[in-house]
Structure 1
């Protein structure tokens, strides 16, 4: 499902007429299976939203992300294209967890996909803090006879080690400059700036640990990366703790810049079976607003 909310979140518990603009959008051909939806972002250039399934098994048996261009009208979603990313993951549950659209120096828009695990990996490697990665993806026509499409990686951007996170759950970019990246496990957000490169080839730098689907011409199979984006060394801000310094915003899965100093966050359901403390329950499955300190 996709949620639709009033821009001013104060209306969610305020004027009834405004609250009625908060509803769930119908997804076409929903068969009740797990959607694997993990990221959504707006592409102003195309006038559509990008909705990303974290990881799916493609026809070749590889675990890849699936990217859809979607529009919303009359309470329903319309899928205009559905393309697999030419990027394989080592773990089915550690794929792309967040996404944002950014514009390069030449005016071209790219998708910046956030890997959940460090080094874009699962297991012990994926839990080595401070090794986050953004995969810059470019839309390309696929070679398939049906005239399909694909998203191809053209650059891997290391997240600065100052984001010393165990995992990465969401990304948002404000005005093509300010970047926010969250961690669910650390209950924190890293804030820094996006830097634009000159687009020139960069050989042998920033190789990622995950593999590209065999036969694709991506950044991990010998092709040169392009210097499109970089990140400054930002700072980490903890989400509020309780009086005992315990993490209470334990499940932040989405982030969005509402204003230059305001972030909107969305929390997932807390993990059951004693995997998370009971103090996480108060703020799970909720929408929050946070001000960035001056």
Structure 2
């Protein structure tokens, strides 16, 4: 079981459904045509595409926005392993992979599952049912509780470690676990008890032997909660448990009173959680109380970057789903948008659309094109991005009027005017000021466009007559100018942060195109990864390379400022990275290209998608740790 955002999710070993319980249940839009039953405040929701039975536990990754459902054991060749089915927030299966830990028997596998994010990676913690992960009498011999740690691999969840529960924990079996911040809870069915422990800082090790709490007994001291099957934290001193059906042939009648039920228990004697205390990891199936804001979704550029057929977009669909990325797509016509939306990954956040850069909202025909897109794609896309134009800097009132005419219709996608032509930032902000009282229209900050523009202006002030765009890494003048070049580059981040604070103050959704670059890069100087460095033929600051405009640290500052200034619900973020050249073997996606003879472009596409995913991890880590 799992408690997330006030809802209790329960899986079954004999049904393909999730049960949900909460007073907020009827407000959930997910429970529409796929709701199999509604009875007051309870409902069943179908798990689409999965195995359909033998489910033991459920966990949630709040960063990737994925549910993970545990199947205790399945055959893999001559051995058995547990399986984890991954679902999106519409409960559609995204993947199914084994937990790489061989089991002795199919009915003595992994019983509990929880999700923790640490060092930028999603970790699944699987609780062995038997002591020392064994079956039979050895598994019932107390003192050998084990939790296996897994990370996502190419075709399976790879085991990377083991947590040993204290030998003083004398449970005969283990049936569920939950982690919240540094607190860990484990329940036992046979022992009818709860163990609460704490992780040591920055470690998978336990801080102490923890405390055991027995579930209520009857007057004779006999067990009433005979079938506790799952547990989830709901507060620092409170847990929810779920009980399985009593075994009528082998268990006494008193066990039936509490079977197939949910119980809420307050744990006596637990100290208040220390606000702001740093813990070793974040349990991603619980809210991060230490975070001052929610984590907004992050989009990535979704397009076919190289020549080939639709298999390339299916590859992008797969990689976006695996990363938990929402999409921003390019489209010049409604037909083109219809086509690419058919491949866009399923995600709670609708795609944003970057329209043709030639569209000018000051032109009646251009404004009509934007209005047509907004009307035709209501409910299918979240926003439409159009570029500004050089002439707009001298026609701010006209620009405001044209955008206001496109707004005022909250049912339509938002229209964002992107900073692209290099106008003064103050003039761009004036446009935002003129839109603050109209719904549906706002601005888009492009980190590369702003950064390159500001760096060139800053350099020109110090070197009249020498344009930064005329320099390159191989220019013999560069060693003498490098300090001024990097000082100009350093001016980019403060400008982006200040513009973000200004636009965020208008109380509107602000869209961000985030990418990195450097003015010394020939040709297109931006739309690079935030991990890019620029090679140079001499040593500067101990390296033969230069840092980009922002790097990971700058990206983190932009994201934090965006959420603090706009709010998590009004910061719309896209990683608009498309300059990444390399090849990466297809791995689990090879079957998509079985009809291809030459995999060069498929591997080039796969490499670019890996760069997007890598930067997505940087972005999410920055948002979560802020």
Q: Does 1:118 align with 2:134?
A: no
Once the two structures are TM-superposed, the CA of residue 28 in structure 1 deviates from its matched residue by: 2.5
Judge conservation of contact 1:171–1:180 (CA < 8 Å) in 2. yes
8 A contact 2:73–2:107 mirrored in 1: yes
Which of 75, 98, 120 is matched with 1:57 structurally?
A: 75
- For 1:71, the equivalent position in structure 2 comes to 88
1:159 and 1:107 mapped to 2: Cα distance? 25
> Is the Cα–Cα contact under 8 Å of residues 68 and 80 in structure 1 kept in the other structure?
yes
**1:191 and 2:196 are equivalent in the alignment:** yes
Q: Which secondary structure state, in structure 1, belongs to the residue aligned with residue 86 of structure 2? A: strand
* Residue 284 (str. 1) matches residue 249 (str. 2): no
Q: 1:280 aligns to what SS in structure 2?
A: helix
d(CA) in 1 for partners of 2:141, 2:80:
22
Q: Which has the higher Rg, Structure 1 or Structure 2? A: 2
**Residue aligning to 1:6:** 22
Query: What displacement does 1:19 show?
Result: 6.5
Which of 138, 152, 155 is the equivalent residue of 1:139? 152
Alignment of 1:1-294 (within 5 A): 1-6=17-22, 20-29=40-49, 35-58=53-76, 60-73=77-90, 77-104=91-118, 106-141=119-154, 149-175=155-181, 177-197=182-202, 228-231=203-206, 232-273=208-249, 275-294=250-269
> In structure 1, how many angstroms separate the alpha carbons of the residues matched to 2:176 and 2:184?
11
Which segments of 5 or more consecutive residues in structure 2 lack a partner in the other structure? 1-16, 26-37, 270-626
Contact 1:162–1:236 under 8 Å retained in 2: no
Asked whether the 8 Å contact 2:244–2:260 carries over to 1, the reply is yes
CA distance in 1, matches of 2:46, 2:226: 28
Pairwise CA distance, 1:21: 4.0
Taking the aligned partners of 1:8 and 1:251, their CA distance within structure 2 comes to 28
TM-score, normalized by length of structure 1? Answer: 0.77
Q: Give the drift of 1:102.
A: 2.0
Select the structure with the greater relative contact order (CA < 8 A; seq sep ≥ 6): 1
Moved more, 184-193 or 38-47: 38-47
Partner Cα separation in structure 1 for residue 245 and residue 258 of structure 2:
9
Aligned 8 A contact 2:50 2:85 in 1: no
Length, aligned pairs only: 240
Task: Identify unmatched segments of 5+ residues in structure 1.
Answer: 10-17, 142-148, 198-227
Rate the CA distance shift 1:170–1:7 in 2: closer, same or farther, 3 A: farther
Cα distance, 1:268–1:171 mapped onto 2, change above 3 Å: same
Structure ranking higher in strand proportion: 1
Query: Residues 69-122 of structure 1, C-alpha deviation per residue, up to 9 Å, x if partnerless?
Result: 11343xxx2111111121110111111100111233x34331111000001111
Structure 1 contact 162–235 (Cα < 8 Å) conserved: no
**SS where residue 137 of structure 1 aligns?**
strand
Does the 8 A contact of 1:127 with 1:166 survive in 2?
A: yes
3-state SS, counterpart of residue 230 of structure 1: coil
TM-score (norm 2): 0.37
Change in CA separation of 1:260 and 1:91 when aligned onto 2, cut-off 3 Å = same
Name whichever structure is richer in helix by fraction.
2
CA-CA distance at 1:270 after TM superposition = 0.7
Relative distance call for 1:118 and 1:7 in structure 2 (3 A) is farther
Q: Does the Cα contact within 8 Å between 2:87 and 2:95 map onto a contact in 1?
A: yes
Contact kept? 1:40, 1:52, Cα under 8 Å: yes
